[in-house]
Chains A and B, each alone.
Chain A
Amino acid sequence: MRRTLAKASLHTALNLLFFTVIGTAFLALTYNLTLDRIAQSEEYEKLKLIKQIVPATAYDNDIIRDTVLLAADALLGNDHETVLYRGRMKSRPSIAVLQATAPDGYSGKINLIISIRHDGRIGGVRVISHKETPGLGDYIEIAKNSWITVFNDASLEQPGDGGWKVKKDGGQFDYMAGATVTPRAMVKAVHKALQYYAQHRDELFAQPPP
Chain B
Amino acid sequence: MSTQEIRDIFLNGLWKQNTGVVQLLGLCPLLAISSSVVNALSLGLATTLVMALSGSAVAAIRDFIPNEVRIPVYVLLIAVLVTIVQLLINAYAYPLYLVLGVFLPLITTNCIVLARAEAFASKNGALSSALDGIAMGLGLTGVLVTLGGIREIFGHGTLLSGLDLVFGEAAKSWVITVVPNYHGFLLAILPPGAFITLGMLIALKNWLNLRADQKAKVNVTISSSSQAA
Q: Which residues of A contact B (CB under 8 A)?
A: 11-12, 15-16, 19-20, 23, 26-27, 30-31, 33-34, 37-38, 41-42, 44-45, 133-136
Q: Count A-B contacts at CB 8 Å.
A: 63
- A27-B83 CB under 8 A given contacts A16-B73, A37-B92: yes
Q: Which residues of B contact A (CB under 8 A)?
A: 35, 61, 64-66, 68-69, 72-73, 76-77, 79-80, 83-84, 87-88, 90-92, 94, 98, 155-156, 184, 186, 189-190
Residue contact A15 to B65, C-beta cutoff 8 Å? yes
Residue contact B73 to A12, C-beta cutoff 8 Å? no
Set of chain A residues within 8 Å of B92, measured between Cβ atoms: 34, 37
- A41-B91 CB under 8 A given contacts A19-B77, A23-B76: yes
List 18 A–B pairs whose Cβ atoms lie within 8 Å, in order of A's numbering.
Answer: A11-B66, A12-B68, A12-B69, A15-B65, A15-B66, A15-B69, A20-B76, A26-B80, A27-B80, A27-B83, A27-B84, A31-B87, A33-B91, A34-B92, A41-B90, A41-B91, A45-B98, A135-B156
- A38-B73 CB under 8 A given contacts A15-B66, A27-B80: no
Among all A-B residue pairs, the 8 with the closest Cβ atoms: A34-B91, A41-B94, A37-B91, A23-B80, A34-B87, A30-B84, A134-B189, A135-B184
Set of chain B residues within 8 Å of A45, measured between Cβ atoms: 94, 98
From A15, A27, A135, B155 is in contact (CB under 8 Å) with A135
Residue contact B186 to A133, C-beta cutoff 8 Å? yes
Set of chain B residues within 8 Å of A11, measured between Cβ atoms: 66
- Quick one: closest B residue to A32, CB to CB? B87
Residue contact B90 to A16, C-beta cutoff 8 Å? no
- Quick one: closest B residue to A136, CB to CB? B186
User: CA separation between A62 and B58, bound complex, in Å?
Assistant: 49
Set of chain B residues within 8 Å of A37, measured between Cβ atoms: 91-92
User: CA separation between A63 and B79, bound complex, in Å?
Assistant: 38
User: CA separation between A133 and B192, bound complex, in Å?
Assistant: 13
Residue contact A34 to B90, C-beta cutoff 8 Å? yes
Other than the known A19-B77, A26-B84, A30-B84, what 18 A-B pairs have Cβ atoms closer than 8 Å?
A11-B66, A15-B65, A15-B66, A15-B69, A16-B72, A23-B77, A26-B80, A30-B88, A34-B88, A34-B90, A34-B92, A38-B90, A41-B90, A133-B190, A134-B155, A134-B186, A134-B189, A135-B184
Set of chain A residues within 8 Å of B184, measured between Cβ atoms: 135
- A135-B189 CB under 8 A given contacts A16-B73, A41-B91: yes
User: CA separation between A15 and B92, bound complex, in Å?
Assistant: 34
- Quick one: closest A residue to B155, CB to CB? A135
User: CA separation between A41 and B88, bound complex, in Å?
Assistant: 12
Set of chain A residues within 8 Å of B80, measured between Cβ atoms: 23, 26-27
**Least distance between A132 CB and chain B CB atoms (Å):** 12
**Least distance between A192 CB and chain B CB atoms (Å):** 28
User: CA separation between A37 and B93, bound complex, in Å?
Assistant: 10
User: CA separation between A44 and B94, bound complex, in Å?
Assistant: 10
Set of chain B residues within 8 Å of A27, measured between Cβ atoms: 80, 83-84
- A134-B77 CB under 8 A given contacts A27-B84, A30-B84: no
